[in-house]
Structure 1
Amino acid sequence: MSNGNARNWHASDGLVARYADGSLPEPDAWSLEKHVEGCAGCAARVSRAVHGTAAGAVLAQVRESVLAAAVLKPAPVRQVTPEAPPAPAPPRLARLLWAVGPAVRGAWLPAVLLVAVGAMALGYGGGFPDARALLLAVAPVVPVAGVALSYGPHADPLYEVVAATPAGGLRLALTRTAAVLGVSLPLLTVAGLLLPASGAPAAAAWLLPGLALTLGSLALASFVGCRTASGVTAGGWLCAVLAPVSAAPADGAGARLAEQLSRCLDGTGTQGAWAAAAVLSTALLVVRRPAYDRLMHS
Structure 2
Amino acid sequence: MRHATTNGDARVWHVSDDLAARYAEGVLPEPEAWSLEKHVEGCGGCAATVSEAVRGTAAGPVLAEIRDAVLASLPAPAPAPAPAAPAARRPRRPVPHRFARLLWAAGPAVRGAWLPAVLVVAAGALALAYGTGYPGVRALLLAVAPVVPVAGVALSYGPHADPLHEVAAATPGGGLRLALTRTVAVLAVSLPLLTLTGLLLPASGAPAAAAWLLPGLALALGSLALASFVGCRTAALLTGGGWLLAVLGPVPAASSGGAAGARLAEQLSRCLDGVGAQSAWASAAVLSAVLVTARRPVYDRPLGR
> The residue matched to 1:244 in structure 2 has which SS?
coil
Indicate yes or no: 2:197 matched with 1:191: yes
Q: Following TM superposition, by how much is the alpha carbon of 1:13 offset from its aligned partner in structure 2, in angstroms? A: 8.1
Matches within 5 A, 1:13-162: 16=19, 19=22, 22=25, 24=27, 30-31=33-34, 33-34=36-37, 36-37=39-40, 43=46, 47=49, 55=56, 81=84, 89=94, 91=96, 92-162=98-168
Amino acid paired to 1:293:
D
- CA distance change for structure 1 residues 37 and 247 in 2, over 3 Å: closer, same or farther? same
The equivalent residue for 2:278 is: 271
- CA distance change for structure 1 residues 266 and 222 in 2, over 3 Å: closer, same or farther? same
Superposed CA deviations along residues 31-53 of structure 1, whole A, max 9, x for unmatched, are 4642543796x949x939x67x9
> The residue matched to 1:273 in structure 2 has which SS?
helix
Taking structure 1 as the reference length, the TM-score comes to 0.77
Distance 1:23 1:200 in 2: 53
- CA distance change for structure 1 residues 36 and 83 in 2, over 3 Å: closer, same or farther? closer
- CA distance change for structure 1 residues 296 and 220 in 2, over 3 Å: closer, same or farther? closer
- CA distance change for structure 1 residues 219 and 54 in 2, over 3 Å: closer, same or farther? closer
Indicate yes or no: 2:173 matched with 1:167: yes
The equivalent residue for 1:293 is: 300
Aligned length: 277
Q: Following TM superposition, by how much is the alpha carbon of 1:155 offset from its aligned partner in structure 2, in angstroms? A: 1.9
Q: 2:222 aligns with which of 212, 216, 220?
A: 216
Query: Unaligned 5+ residue runs, structure 1?
Result: 63-74
CA contact (8 A) 1:163 1:296 kept: no
CA contact (8 A) 2:221 2:288 kept: yes
- Provide the aligned C-alpha RMSD in A: 4.0
Superposed CA deviations along residues 86-139 of structure 1, whole A, max 9, x for unmatched, are 986452443322221123211111110111111101111011120000000000
Superposed CA deviations along residues 194-233 of structure 1, whole A, max 9, x for unmatched, are 1110000000000000000000011111111111111110
CA contact (8 A) 1:19 1:29 kept: no
Q: Following TM superposition, by how much is the alpha carbon of 1:77 offset from its aligned partner in structure 2, in angstroms? A: 6.5
Percent identity of paired positions between Structure 1 and Structure 2 = 62
Q: Following TM superposition, by how much is the alpha carbon of 1:156 offset from its aligned partner in structure 2, in angstroms? A: 2.1
- CA distance change for structure 1 residues 38 and 231 in 2, over 3 Å: closer, same or farther? same
Q: Following TM superposition, by how much is the alpha carbon of 1:234 offset from its aligned partner in structure 2, in angstroms? A: 0.2
Amino acid paired to 2:37:
K
- CA distance change for structure 1 residues 130 and 16 in 2, over 3 Å: closer, same or farther? same
- CA distance change for structure 1 residues 94 and 82 in 2, over 3 Å: closer, same or farther? farther
Moved more, 134-143 or 79-88: 79-88
> The residue matched to 2:160 in structure 1 has which SS?
coil
The equivalent residue for 1:236 is: 242
The equivalent residue for 2:74 is: none
Moved more, 22-31 or 259-268: 22-31
CA contact (8 A) 1:163 1:297 kept: no
Amino acid paired to 1:123:
A
> The residue matched to 1:223 in structure 2 has which SS?
helix
Distance 2:262 2:189 in 1: 29
Query: Unaligned 5+ residue runs, structure 2?
Result: 4-10, 65-77
